[in-house]
Chains A and B, each alone.
Chain A
């Protein structure tokens, strides 16, 4: 008769359950890809913004308009005084030029594009009037892979997804089993408790690999995302992150008796990290008072380390302290899980 090993049977059961659940497949694999595509398109590098400038009617209005139109970025129109004011108020123009002595610029200083337009229009008028710049300058635009928003975003999305996948795939799944009294039923068999916990962790590790491949692959294929780091270093880092986050998942699942409870706990843990840990924008943008808090979150360090490894080709050893902090979070979570876990 065939001998069945409990660890491999538990692991197989977990894999089967996962792949037979189309909803989870969508949330784990398709959702981050759609998010990457959506945000990638929204923040793609657009051609330079056009500047809408109105010139108020005046004897020299036509002359002023002509000199401004020599710059291709400017869209220039001549209107009467009340029309100019209306258009400015409605945002149809960014700036009104009132020719005279002195030339007056009418704009709202709280609108960034108006402030920018004032500067550009002033420059153009001064040059048209014969100003010579003492220092010659030139512009060059950067659109190289590795410096765009999408390049910042993709590692962040991977971090976010590894956290969410670990919380749902471990924490929620275990509480659901407790609600179904299946944990209690398992506890009534000679099953080794550690086998069960290892299988939950092993399942998570197995689902993590396609996650990394799908998210990074989407970046590479659709956005020319550059992977400059060692692929094994990236995998190792993802493995460490997923394992540490799975520890958090186990921890929230220790005692929760209802799926509502565990959903709340998971959101309590995930939301601050999604917001603060540099998924969508750099954590340095937050006020100083939040920085000490941000610096203890595991996802912050995961995202920093992942960006360093992928985008800069940094070595794992250069990220040692970040890795140690991520591992410590996991270790502490497992320690308390073993103490607090309830089977019924």
Chain B
């Protein structure tokens, strides 16, 4: 078996393009994407729906052919020795519906049978916490349990590289945390993980490094901490005025420690490096302008702020309404 040194990337791609031609003309789902994923890391592709995350990951998985660009996975290329590559990767697709009238253990044994080497299905059930559901029909599992089964099916071939496409989308908070624990444990065991998500908290908690993707391109890359400190300030001050906002951005831009001002229907957000300096200055400015404050809050900056800062849009369409 080909062994690669730790320095050698597990996945590298250069100039990746994927064009779909449909009735409404052609769409560039992936538009010149460069990435390198290192051994043992959990790498996240973060971006809104339609950013090209799934297309990218499916090209890496060998399920889609790129229009152009160079992709190398585990030191191999798709089209050369696909079976060998498939033996070494584990995949959880978005929305696979397993056969409802098979049990958990039957499904895992079926998937295990496809691999030359692999894990004991019983051990995999333990790893994802499905042991007590071994003999349950899949039709009787909850959404979170099904998603953990999907991860288990990805693990049963003992992969050195694991692909998880939106593993927690649509799950309740408790199921999401359970799945996070599973993924974190895998990564601690040395498995390289590539996951896509549009949840910033998921990316922040799980990923060592991530690429923020929008319109088929990488618009920022780094560890969650690096990306957040790239904003210039790691704190956010959000406030709203009693009589609406108006075009007041300039009024606050010059305040000490304020790096950026952003306003939307919900109010005004300031990116600041030192809140203890910025807040008194802000209150002074409001008083001198006779502006009345409706609310004021401060918090740590998040990846969401990184994305909004880069694109002017939120990661999820429902984000604006949910912050109200």
The reply to whether A1 and B113 contact each other, CB–CB distance below 8 Å, is no
Residue of A nearest to B101 (CB): A20
* A157 CB → nearest B CB, Å: 28
A60-93 with Cβ < 8 A to chain B: none
Q: By the criterion CB–CB under 8 Å, are A9 and B91 in contact? A: no
| Complex: chain B residue closest to A4, CB-CB | B113
Interface size on B, residues (CB 8 A): 30
At the interface, yes or no: A133 with Cβ under 8 Å from chain B?
no
**How far is the CB of A343 from the nearest CB of chain B, in Å?**
8
Is B223 an interface position by the 8 A CB rule? Answer: no
B111 touches A189 (CB 8 A): yes
Check A188–B91 contact: CB distance below 8 A.
Answer: yes
User: CB within 8 A of B114: which of A21, A184, A191?
Assistant: A191
**Chain A contacts of B93 at CB under 8 A?**
181, 184-185, 188
Known interface pairs A4-B109, A5-B113, A6-B113; A184-B99 also in contact (CB < 8 Å): no
- Closest residue of chain A to B62 (Cβ to Cβ) is A188
Q: Majority SS of interface residues in chain B?
A: loop
Instruction: Determine whether B83 belongs to the interface, using a CB cutoff of 8 Å to chain A.
Output: yes
Q: Point out the residue from B61, B99, B106, B114 that lies within 8 Å of A6, measured CB to CB.
A: B114
A180 at the interface (CB under 8 A from B): yes
**In the complex, what residues of A have CB within 8 A of residue B115's CB?**
189-190
Q: A13-B102, A17-B101, A182-B97 are in contact. Are A187 and B63 (CB under 8 A)?
A: yes
Flag if B157 contacts A184 (CB, 8 Å): no
Residue B292 lies at the interface, judged by CB distance under 8 Å to chain A: no
Could you say which residues of chain A place their CB within 8 Å of the CB of B106? Answer: 12-13, 16
Contact with B along A1-42 (1 / 0, CB 8 A): 100111011101100110011000000000000000000000
Cβ contact within 8 Å between A9 and B113: yes
Residue of A nearest to B83 (CB): A190
Of residues 31 through 72 on chain B, the ones whose CB sits less than 8 Å from some CB of chain A are 61-63
Enumerate chain A residues within 8 angstroms of B61, measured Cβ to Cβ: 188
Per the bound structure, the CA–CA distance linking A20 and B100 in Å amounts to: 10
B98 within 8 A of A: yes
Interface presence of B96 (CB below 8 A): yes
Q: Which of A142-191 contact B (CB under 8 A)?
A: 180-182, 184-191
A5–B279 Cα distance when bound, in Å, is 67
CB distance from A268 to the nearest CB of B (A): 25
A344 to B63, CA, bound (A): 8
Complex Cα gap A188–B165 (Å): 13
Cβ contacts under 8 Å, A12 to chain B: 106
The chain B residue with its CB closest to the CB of A1 is B120
A182 to B132, CA, bound (A): 24
Residue of A1, A5, A20, A185 touching B96 (CB-CB under 8 A): A185
In the complex, which of the residues B95, B101, B102, B157 contacts A189, with contact meaning CB atoms closer than 8 Å? B157
B176 within 8 A of A: no
CA A17 to CA B102, docked complex, whole Å: 6
Please give the distance in Å from A73's CB to the nearest CB on chain B: 59
Smallest CB gap from B86: residue in A: A190
**With an 8 A cutoff between CB atoms, is B112 at the interface?**
yes
Closest chain A residue to B107 by CB distance? Answer: A13
**Structural contact, A180 and B101, CB atoms closer than 8 A:** no
A189 near B97 with CB under 8 A, answer no
Bound Cα distance from A17 to B93, whole angstroms: 22
Please tell me if the beta carbons of B101 and A184 are within 8 angstroms of each other in the complex.
no
Closest to A5 in B: B113
How far does the alpha carbon of A184 sit from the alpha carbon of B157 in the complex, in Å?
A: 17
Whether the Cβ atoms of A182 and B99 lie closer than 8 Å is yes
Query: Given A13-B99, A16-B101, A190-B83, A184 and B111 touching (CB < 8 A)?
Result: no
B88 to chain A minimum Cβ distance, whole angstroms, is 9
Q: Report yes or no: A9 in contact with B110, Cβ–Cβ below 8 A.
A: yes
- Does B295 sit within 8 A of A, measured CB to CB? no
Q: What are 8 A-to-B residue pairs whose CB atoms are below 8 Å?
A: A9-B110, A13-B102, A13-B107, A13-B110, A180-B98, A188-B93, A189-B114, A191-B114
10 smallest CB-CB distances across A and B, nearest first, come from A4-B113, A180-B97, A9-B113, A20-B101, A190-B86, A191-B114, A189-B114, A6-B113, A188-B91, A185-B96
- What would 11 more interface pairs be, CB under 8 Å, given A189-B114, A190-B83? A4-B109, A9-B109, A10-B113, A13-B102, A17-B99, A20-B101, A181-B93, A184-B96, A185-B91, A188-B86, A344-B63
